[in-house]
Amino acid sequence: MNTLREAVQDYLALRRSLGFKLREDGARLADFVSFMEQRKASYVTHELALTWAQAPPALPSQWARRLGFVRVFARHRSATDPRTQIPPNGLLPYPSTRIRPYIYSDHEIQALLDAALKMRCRTALRPWTYYCLIGLLSVSGLRLGEALNLELQDLDLQAAVLTIRSGKFGKSRLVPLHRSTRDVLADYMARRNQSAAGRSSSSHLFVSERRKRLDVRVVHETFNTLSQQVGLREPSTNHGPRLHDFRHRFAFKTLLNWYRSKKDAERLLPVLSDYLGHVNVSCTYW
C-alpha cells in the first residue's frame, strides 16, 4: 500500500487530469500530510482531521473549508485503505457558504448600459468597450475572465459564434450568439478598428485606452463606479451586485424561459451546463 503522501499525490494527479486545477486543495493537503507525518499517522481519522482543520493560524470561519479538503481526499483514499475515516458533513461550525446571487432586472441592466455610454473618457472607444462587455456578460453567461481573454480570432460574426479557449478547468467550448448580440459586437468591432487608426493593438477583443487587454482590477473598479451611479451600490462601497451575477442571471432566465415554454428543464439542464462551461452538472444545479 502506498504512503499517505503518495496517495495524496495520486489523488491530485487524477483530478487534475480531469481538468481540475486544485491550487488550494494541493497546498492544503500537502500541509495536512506533513501534519500526519509529524504524528507518524498512516491513515486519516476523525480526530486527526479535526485537529488539523482547527490548528492555528486557521480562523473558525475557515475550519469547515479546511476539513472539506480532507473529506474529499478521504473518500478517495477509503477505496484502497479501509481504515480511513471519512469526516461527516456538518462536523464543524461555520460551514463555508457561497455568496448569495443577485438577479439583475432588465431595467437595471439597461441602466448600467446607459451609464457606460455616458462615461467621460479620453478615448471614444472606452464607453463602447464597457457597453459591449456588460451587455455580452448579461446575455451569454460567460465568466468575466473568459470575456476578457477573448481574442479577435475567437469572434466569428458570420456564424454568430464565440470560441472560448481554455476556460475554467481547461475546457474550451463554442458559444452561439443571438443575432442582436452579434450586431452589437459587429458595431463594436467597426469602432475598434476605426479607433486604431494604424496603431499597434492587442489581439484581445476588449481593449483599454492604451490598446491593451482590459485589466480585471480596472474592470471591477469601473463596474463599481457604474453601479453606484445607477443606485445598485451605496456611494463609496464595494459591497453589492457583482459582475459574476450576470452569469447567475443568465442561468436563471434560461430556466425560467424553459419552464414558461413548457420544456423539460430537468432534461435540458446538461445543455445549460455545457453552455456555461461547467465540469459537473451539480454546479449548474446549485
Q: What is the pLDDT of residue 61?
A: 80
Calculate mean pLDDT across residues 219-225.
Answer: 95
Residue 198 scores a pLDDT above 70: no
Q: What is the pLDDT of residues 97-118, one digit of tens each?
A: 678 899 999 999 999 999 999 9
Q: What is the pLDDT of residue 19?
A: 75
Q: What is the pLDDT of residues 82-99, one digit of tens each?
A: 999 999 988 887 765 678
| Least confident stretch, 17-26, 164-173, 243-252 | 164-173
Calculate mean pLDDT across residues 252-262.
Answer: 95
The C-alpha cell at 7 is 496517495
Which residues touch 165 (CB under 8 Å, ≥6 apart)?
Answer: 149, 154, 172
Q: What is the pLDDT of residue 121?
A: 80
Question: In this structure, are residues 265 and 253 in contact, taking their beta carbons and an 8 Å threshold?
Answer: no
pTM of the model: 0.72
User: What is d(CA 257, CA 188) in angstroms, rounded to the nearest whole number?
Assistant: 28
